[in-house]
Amino acid sequence: MSSNTTTLPRDGIARRLWQLAKDLLRLFVMLATTFLGLLAITFFIGRVVPIDPVLAIVGERATQEQYEAARHALGLDRPLIVQFLIYVKDAATGNFGTSLLTAKPVLEDIGRVFPATLELATLATILGVLLGVPTGVIAATRPGTLTDQIIRILGLVGYSMPVFWLGLMGLLIFYGELGWVGGPGRLDTFQEMMFESEVPRHTGMILIDSALAGAWDIFRNALSHIVLPAGVLAYYSMAYISRMTRSFMMNELSQEYVTTARVKGLPEWRVVWVHALGNTLVPLITVIALSYANLLEGSVLTETVFAWPGLGLYITNALMSADMAAVMGGTIIVGAAFILLNMASDILYRLIDPRARAAA
């Protein structure tokens, strides 16, 4: 009897460990396969674009011998499949080549500029969630009313309006005319010098590093610079999140459990904000993760308008200079971030929804 009672828990633990190992293996295979597909796409796009990487290195006045020597050094005289295998090996080890613009390894450049994009996209996503979810819930609880129509129109404008135009208008009004916010860049010139000399670099994100160092003058200056570009991106993110939240909530509010909760006399705020909204968390996580990933990869125009020294501006400058190593490296990093965010949303989905765990 005692033997059975001790064996069952052990069997249960073994089954859980085996299931966990299978889930991790499946996740790793999926991640590796997706990343390999990303490398294949970027590799073949890099081979078909009308930019000669050899000519960009040696210049137009180079002799044929110099051209062929550089082509051999880059491995471009080898068969295409061999070039791809070398490309995969280099990417897996973080070797994206050397940038023509900075003469530094591309990975080092990305490590310098990516925190700026991460800071901007993260703040914009937080603002988008804080504004988008409540407005979506309010619109869903008042379908067809003036409030619902206003929220939907604001969302439609934010989702369809060109981001660069919103950025330019924001700079003209809030910086040029009213002087409420800081101008292009992450800091004023003097504050940037103070940041470089006095603030330790922990994350590369100025708001966090300056707050940790207690440099509140730099923090306030950085906040005045980031509020406008983050607000522009947040408006775009809010429009998408609000629209999806409204759709999810409309579906949940028509379910029988909501009617039952109301019949039982539960307060309306609890029915809406606890029960109905709680059941939309699973699809909302996916929506927010996709919105975050889109801001990470789609902030190129915003960074260009606001001279924000992030990954988007880095890729744009590299493309204008035919610096294909930097373009390809930046594209891979953005794609990898997109893949990881999707994987993270899938993991959160399984943790929150017991039905997903049971299905797995």
Interval 159-171: pLDDT, tens: 788 888 888 898 9
More confident residue, 321 or 350: 321
pLDDT of 1 > 50? The answer is no
Looking at the structure, do residues 298 and 242 belong to the same domain, yes or no?
A: yes
**Same domain for 15 and 118?**
no
Domain for residue 99, yes or no?
no
Query: Which carries the bigger pLDDT value, residue 315 or residue 56?
Result: 315
Q: What is the pTM of this model?
A: 0.81
pLDDT of 270 strictly over 60 = yes
Q: Checking phi first, is residue 310 left (phi over 0); if not, alpha (psi -120 to 50) or beta?
A: beta
Give the span between the Cα atoms of 140 and 269, in whole angstroms: 13
Same domain? 72 vs 117: no
Q: Is 98 helix (H, G, I), strand (E, B) or coil?
A: strand
Question: To the nearest whole number, what is the mean pLDDT of the chain?
Answer: 83
Q: Could you tell me the pLDDT band of residue 20, with boundaries at 50, 70 and 90? A: low
| pLDDT (average), residues 223-237 | 92
φ, ψ of residue 105 to 5 degrees: the values are -55, 140
What is the average per-residue pLDDT within 37-63? 75
Instruction: Say if residue 175 is in the same domain as residue 57.
Output: no
Identify whether residues 144 and 290 lie together within a single domain: yes
User: Euclidean distance between the first and final Cα of the chain, in Å?
Assistant: 32
Predicted confidence (pLDDT) at residue 7 exceeds the cutoff of 50: no
Predicted confidence band of residue 220 (pLDDT cuts 50, 70, 90) = very high
- Are 33 and 167 in the same domain? no
Q: Are residues 315 and 226 in the same domain?
A: yes
Ranges of beta strands (E only) in 5-149 are: none
Rounded Cα distance between 354 and 190, Å, is 53
CA–CA gap between residue 24 and residue 32 (Å, rounded): 12
Under 8 Å CB-to-CB from 240, ≥6 apart: which residues? 128, 132, 155, 159, 287, 291
Quick check: 322 pLDDT over 80?
Answer: no
In a domain, 212, yes or no: yes
Domain range for 336: 106-359
**Residue 85 shares a structural domain with residue 209:** no
Per-residue model confidence as pLDDT tens digits over 114-151: 999 999 999 999 999 999 999 999 999 998 899 989 99
Regarding whether 48 and 185 lie in a shared domain, the answer is no
d(CA 62, CA 65): 8
- Amino acid identity, position 1: M
73 and 152 inside one domain = no
| Structural domain count, the chain | 2
